Amino acid sequence: MMDASPTLRTQRLILRQFQASDADTVQRLAGVKEVAAGTFLPHPYDLEAATKWIAQQQENFAAGNTIALAIVLAQEEQLIGSIGMEIAREHQLARLSYWLGVAYWNQGYCTEALQAVLDYGFTRLSLHRIYAPHFHNNPASGRVLRKVGMTHEGRMREHYIRFGQFVDVVIYGMLREEFLNRRRGA
Ligand SMILES: CC(C)(COP(=O)(O)OP(=O)(O)OC[C@H]1O[C@@H](n2cnc3c(N)ncnc32)[C@H](O)[C@@H]1OP(=O)(O)O)[C@@H](O)C(=O)NCCC(=O)NCCS
């Protein structure tokens, strides 16, 4: 079991636990096809699905295997997306996932959120490895992962089916030592 869900702060963002009252914003942002296309979010995505997902996150966190944080603009107190990790304790490993509402893309928010989550994962949870898969046809996600210093580890060809098409999946990873070295400027 982990302690209470963390609240992480960055220059422009607050990353906090989802609340039931976030459901309509989550539905509106995550219900857009461009957002769904990079993820396995259900599509179409209705309010009931968003409400259930939020309740599920709270349970998952309590069980100690998932952390999902709302990405909130600190000044405007506006929810703009989600970032999370699925944790495999037995391997000291976590897998990242994230999405942002389309209006908030390409302003560095995901990179900023991801840095805070990596820091939390490696220093607070003492994870050994954090990795992220992304669909090959989603270069923005690969760019974010490179910007935070993760290593391209490979590509699984036609690994999943998304919207009826086989998609290649690209894997990026980072080890704790690499994160610490990077932070030290080594
Ligand atoms: C992936 C995603 C979270 C990125 O969020 P973001 O806040 O826009 O990311 P950032 O602004 O921190 O960085 C985006 C980078 O990708 C680059 N980029 C954007 N579109 C691109 C494209 N088509 N090809 C290559 N690079 C691209 C941007 O220029 C930027 O890099 P730069 O800072 O060097 O200019 C967002 O696009 C998203 O929510 N997509 C839909 C959901 C999704 O795919 N989630 C990821 C699942 S693995």
In the chain, where are the structural domains located? 8-184
Q: Which two tokens stand for residue 67?
A: 């952390």
Ligand 1 pocket by Cβ (under 6 Å): 35, 38-39, 98-100, 105-111, 134, 138-141, 143-144
84-112 average pLDDT score: 98
Distance 107 CA to ligand 1 centre (A): 9
pLDDT of residue 64: 87
Ligand 1: residue of 33, 100, 169 to mutate (most ligand atoms within 8 A of CB) is 100
The answer to whether residue 50 scores a pLDDT higher than 90 is: yes
Where residue 39 falls among pLDDT bands split at 50, 70, 90? very high
Ligand 1: residue of 35, 99, 168 to mutate (most ligand atoms within 8 A of CB) is 99
Q: Tell me which residue has its CA closest to atom 28 in ligand 1.
A: 106
Pseudo-torsion of CA 64, 36, 113, 20, nearest 10°? Answer: -60
Where residue 3 falls among pLDDT bands split at 50, 70, 90? low
CA-nearest of 94, 115, 105, 85 to 37 is 105
The architecture in CATH of the region 8-184 reads 3-Layer(aba) Sandwich (3.40)
Residue 22, number of CB atoms within 10 A of its CB = 20
Where residue 58 falls among pLDDT bands split at 50, 70, 90? confident
Where residue 4 falls among pLDDT bands split at 50, 70, 90? confident
CA-to-CA separations, 129 to 50, 62, 90, 155, in angstroms, rounded = 29, 22, 12, 18
